[in-house]
Structure 1
Amino acid sequence: MYRFLLSRQWVILTLLGLVMIPVMIRLGFWQLHRHEHRVANNKIIAAALKAPPVPVETVTHPGYSVPHKDLYKAVSARGHFDTAHEVVARHRTAGAVSSDDQDGSGGQQVGYHVITPFVLDDGRAILVNRGWIDGGDNPYALPKIPAPPSGEITVIGRLRPDETSSETGIRNVKGLPPRQIMLINSTMLAKQVPDPLLGGYLEMVSAAGRTPTSPALIPEPDHSSIGPHLAYAIQWWLFSAMVPVGWVVLLRRERADILAARAKKAAEEAPREPEDSVPAAAGT
């Protein structure tokens, strides 16, 4: 009855199902881990945003790699801006940033992030992302950059790790126009700034002397959304459960079709009974 399971079609179908089940289960756990990472990331960001700022020089130093636990840590810096070595980061969108430590695409307008070294009182410096400005009509010309507050000031910001292509997906293009960069990275800019650069950079939150024409501050990162990863995990597990169910349904349908075909064939081959002959009526 079930010899059809040895056919080429059913062997391939069965092997395919046996491969798909563990693959989809694994994909479900992958999405679950992404969900757990997102939730943990949100907790880190929420705690960092609520904490009072600490002096930046107590958190980072030249060559320092900002760990994940310090993501968006609130810090303060006392010193002055060095506009002589100011640069702009290309192809940055205006809008919110994601909670996965990557620039988001909440806005569609592309422009620049203004990156200005901030020289601390001890002679070291930290890169400060002062915010977003419009890109203008010529992407190869340095845009007009609003001047930062002058003199000795205190800057409050969120600590960010140095950007890399592997973490952000931003390709580090060579041969850019002067004072334009792709990645905000203290190691890459260390040779262009005369003062020792602390590792990482700051997203400026506030500073005395800002004006309405100052660059638009980077919005606070989203730390409430958990994304669709948990739903995707459940979907993958449901799909894996549907594979054996579907296999059984197809099996029963195939068996029913075979039985129906056999019954029809048997009916066609069964001998027919001869029809009764009707005697002719005798004439009188």
Structure 2
Amino acid sequence: MYRFLLTPRWLGILSLALVAATVMVLLGNWQLERYHGRTAINERIDAGLRMAPVPLRAALPAPTGGPGTVGPPPAPERTFTRVTVTGRYDTDTVVLVRGRTVESRVGFEVVTPLVLADGTAVLVDRGWIPPAPGGAVAQPQVPPAPAGEVTVEGRVHASESGDARVAWRAGRLESRRVSVPQLAGELPYPLHGAYLLLDEQTPAADPAFRAVPVGHTNNWQNLGYVVQWWIFAAMTLFGYGWIARREARRLAGVVDERPRDRAAGPGSRAAT
């Protein structure tokens, strides 16, 4: 009854179904890995909010090169670690990161290098401020960084990727991303391989700044994709089986809407 499945046509259909189902299972596995990865990021974000600060060196290796170089990035498990560090702000350098949204408003994040006693520096995201009147890209009035020694508490944030081109405008550096390697080429000291999101500062930060929130990743979306791809894989195999069964019934002369009794032939009991 099912010998037709061994014909080249049906073997080809089976091959396509198996390949499609395998690809869908692999896509589901990939989304499952992304779900676990994003879940780990969310857990690190939550842990960073609860933990006591540790020295910067405990989470972020120091750079060892000369001016314009960048130190090693933090280990993945060290991102969003709360750290404390003391230094002096480079008050002559202002980095404006444009197109950043806080509470549905587009503005700028202000990043200032904090120069440490050993001559290296770490970028500190001091917070968000709205643009000046005139549009979302109008440079704001930036409160000056405090002079003298400053102690910063903040969370380690990995360098950002994407469109990270840096340009000077009105005496300030501007970019769309906090890309440590791109900014390092414009600064006269070696930079640590990540930046800090400011939580607290001594002396206190200017109240004009708003703290930059750390959004959790949407890991549940990835879990939804896992279920979706695996269901598609199961439906592909089920569909192949359903079509094969239907073809087998057709070849056997079985029709869904057939009469209950066939017409009697001349030699049947009904004909006598």
Q: TM-score range by the shorter chain?
A: 0.7 to 0.9
How far did 1:23 drift? 1.0
Tell me, yes or no, if the aligned pair for 1:112 and 1:133 is still in contact at 8 Å: yes
Question: Deviations along 1:162-221, whole A, 9 cap, x unmatched?
Answer: 22x3xxxx21336563521233233332343334433311100111323432x2111144
Tell me, yes or no, if the aligned pair for 2:97 and 2:175 is still in contact at 8 Å: yes
The alignment's TM-score, normalised by the length of structure 2, stands at 0.76
Q: 1:253 aligns with which of 232, 246, 251?
A: 246
Q: 1:205 aligns with which of 199, 204, 213?
A: 199
Distance, in Å, in 2 between the alignment partners of 1:187 and 1:255 is: 65
Distance, in Å, in 1 between the alignment partners of 2:191 and 2:159 is: 11
Distance, in Å, in 2 between the alignment partners of 1:244 and 1:195 is: 60
Paired position in structure 1 for 2:66: none
Matched residue SS, 1:83: coil
Within 5 A, what are the aligned runs for 1:107-256?
A: 107-136=103-132, 137-138=134-135, 141-163=138-160, 165=161, 170-173=162-165, 177=169, 178-207=172-201, 208-213=203-208, 215-222=209-216, 226-256=219-249
Distance, in Å, in 1 between the alignment partners of 2:173 and 2:214 is: 27
Tell me, yes or no, if the aligned pair for 1:85 and 1:192 is still in contact at 8 Å: no
How far did 1:71 drift? 0.4
How far did 1:21 drift? 1.6
The alignment's TM-score, normalised by the length of structure 1, stands at 0.73
Size of the alignment, in residue pairs? 252
Question: Deviations along 1:56-91, whole A, 9 cap, x unmatched?
Answer: 245331222222121011111223322211111122
Question: Deviations along 1:212-242, whole A, 9 cap, x unmatched?
Answer: 32x211114438x642323322332232222
Tell me, yes or no, if the aligned pair for 1:124 and 1:196 is still in contact at 8 Å: yes
Tell me, yes or no, if the aligned pair for 1:82 and 1:116 is still in contact at 8 Å: yes
Question: Deviations along 1:22-71, whole A, 9 cap, x unmatched?
Answer: 11111121122112222333333333333321222453312222221210
Matched residue SS, 2:26: helix
Counterpart AA for 1:201: Y
Paired position in structure 2 for 1:77: 85
Tell me, yes or no, if the aligned pair for 1:142 and 1:179 is still in contact at 8 Å: no
Matched residue SS, 1:246: helix
Higher alpha-carbon deviation: 38-47 or 71-80? 38-47
Counterpart AA for 1:84: D
Unpaired segments ≥5 residues, structure 2: 64-70, 267-272
Within 5 A, what are the aligned runs for 1:95-114?
A: 107-114=103-110
Unpaired segments ≥5 residues, structure 1: 95-106, 272-284
Aligned-residue Cα RMSD (Å) equals 3.4
Matched residue SS, 1:85: coil
How far did 1:2 drift? 4.7
Distance, in Å, in 1 between the alignment partners of 2:105 and 2:176 is: 17
How far did 1:141 drift? 4.8
**Rg comparison, structure with higher value:** 1
